[in-house]
Amino acid sequence: MSALTGSAGIAVRPLRLDEEGLPFPEDIASSGTAGGNAAEVEARMGIVIVGHVDHGKSTIIGRLLADTGSLPEGKLEQIKDLCARTAKPFEYAFLLDALKDERAQGITIDAARVFFRTPKRRYLILDAPGHVEFLKNMVTGAARAEAALLVLDAGEGIQENTRRHAYLLSMLGVRQIAVVVNKMDLVGSRQEDFDAFARDLGGFLGSIGLEPAAIIPVIGREGDNLATRSATMSWYTGPTVLEVLDAFRSQGEAVDGPFRMPVQAVFKFTNDGDDRRIVAGTIDSGRLRVGDEVVFHPSGKRTRVKSLEAFNRVAPSVVGAGESAGFTLAQQIYVQRGELATLAHEPQPVTATRIRTSIFWLGTRPLEVGRNYTLKLGTARVSVHLEHIERVLDASTLDAVTDRTAVLRNEVAECVLKLRQPIAFDRATDIAATSRFVLVDNFNISGGGVVREALATAPTRAAGSATRVALRAGVLWLTGPKGAGKSALARWIAAHADASGAKVELLDDDTLGELFPASGARGDVALRVRRIAWLASRLEAHGAAVVVAVDSPDDDVRRAARDQAANFVEIHLHASPDVLAQRIGAAESPPYEAPVQPELALDTGRLTLEESGAQVLAWLDEWSSQS
């Protein structure tokens, strides 16, 4: 669909998404939502249109565009003329279905994204296709929606995809829903037929936890009860579709929730003495101002916002939910894509390596216990292992089965996932946007869902436990600033591994101090680390799992250690500056270069020794199982 500009200045065009399903910052900025103070920006709401195939979703959207004056001048006449020249009956759906193959098939095959405006606010509509084969696109649409219109054909009633789509909306936490009963002319526009239909539908929606704001009788082709009231159905006294949309609460208006911004990228500038590092992303909830103390999860790093940044415009003083934002930090800490930015004084997200989830599976291959997948939540991407299927629910019948080891296509399941490394999220009952994820199987998005709760990691093994710790030959290199707890965690890991019969060697300052002495000079420390790395590689070659916990502040030296080992696992321990200062009795830690991409990162200022150790063992279990 080509970019079009309406008479009211409204763009009717696709919103481009990056490989993670997120809008490009420049697209958001050009749409007029990123740039001013949050209080000054025109409210905007994302709406998803769902329903069974051929129930009239595209017709309703096309009619809304026409009835709200959101089309360019002459566009309606242009489409009508095209239909006349091609001997096709005019359909309002053609205003939306711009692709040639969509017109030829008469169905919508991609999630169209269009803008329109009412006097109250601006809307971004995501038209989710109705065929089962296109449910994958619907997951992307619904996951970005703040509200939904569920469209049904009065002549056909509740269909299989109607139930599936409704359940998916419920699972994704989309609670603002209105039902549009379309094609009422097929049942003579009779009130008794509508009332019976509404009772059945309301009962079904209530059974899956949805309470529609309104059930509206509509004749989409004629525009009855869309923007204006119907003369044919004068018995209906409820709101029109536009009235119920305007009554919904927009994320742009709900900026008082906890601040959440998945880090999409970090831009570094070098020209003309510009040394800024700008953290960029799209804000899911809350507000951000200069001077706010931000905390990044799961790393736990924190600092203050030095400045808010903008491209080719005046920098705003505050940014809020729904906006693309960029900001610099008062302290140059290492932050990477996938972290979740929060405010220190607000409720914090949950960080875990084991989670209970609700999953809607769309893949051609079943979702199977014991297999590994990739989970994408916000901008985070992590390998996960399907540990257990608690129950499978048929989205059409709502029947539950509890003794399954696989989830088939178009089924919903309650599952336990084990993550290779921690991610930060909110529970679906707290903040829906930061609980939603997709699952990738063999490079294809094959499912979506929400996190219900964090679960305890695998039970910690006491020193005398007979449970075997899964370890293979390799070098486990614990790194972090002074005071991060490297030696304590290394001893904990070694003790648990040794008690279970694993072949393990511990190299720390207590075991190596006299053999590998070093002064405080940076060069001497580097030489000492290189010698220890050589020794660790020799022990590994003889089949040992080597746990190393020594001061190794230089990243390039640690990379050299990695090159010497056949299997190298870098575990980065970190804590806030206040915690480190308290532990080492100094105002600030000595210089330390954090690793760019460690296999595992642990906030030892927040986690206990047992919790940190359990996360390491859980990671090692999966790592060893992949050997």
CA distance 472 to 504: 9
Asked if 317 is an active-site residue, the reply is no
The pair phi, psi for residue 524, each rounded to 5°, is -65, -40
- Ramachandran sector of residue 189 (left: φ over 0; alpha: ψ -120 to 50; beta: rest): left
Cα end-to-end span (Å), the chain: 48
Q: Is residue 428 within 8 Å of residue 442, measured between CB atoms?
A: no
Q: Is residue 230 within 8 Å of residue 247, measured between CB atoms?
A: no
Bond from prior residue into 598 cis (ω within 30 degrees of 0)? no
CA distance 22 to 379: 8
134 vs 50, 139, 344, 428, CA distance in Å?
11, 9, 41, 24
366 vs 369, 400, 444, CA distance in Å?
10, 17, 13
Nearest to 116 by CA among 84, 92, 83: 92
Q: Strand 261-262 to strand 147-153: parallel, antiparallel, or no bridges (unpaired)?
A: unpaired
Q: Which amino acid is at 336?
A: Q
Query: Directed axis angle between helix 609-625 and helix 486-499, to 10°?
Result: 60
Residue 127: enclosing H or E segment and its boundaries? strand 122-127
Token pair 């996938």 is at which residue?
Answer: 338
Tokens of 164: 């599936």
- Active-site residue, selected from the candidate residues 250, 285, 552, 612: 552
Catalytic residue numbers?
Answer: 552
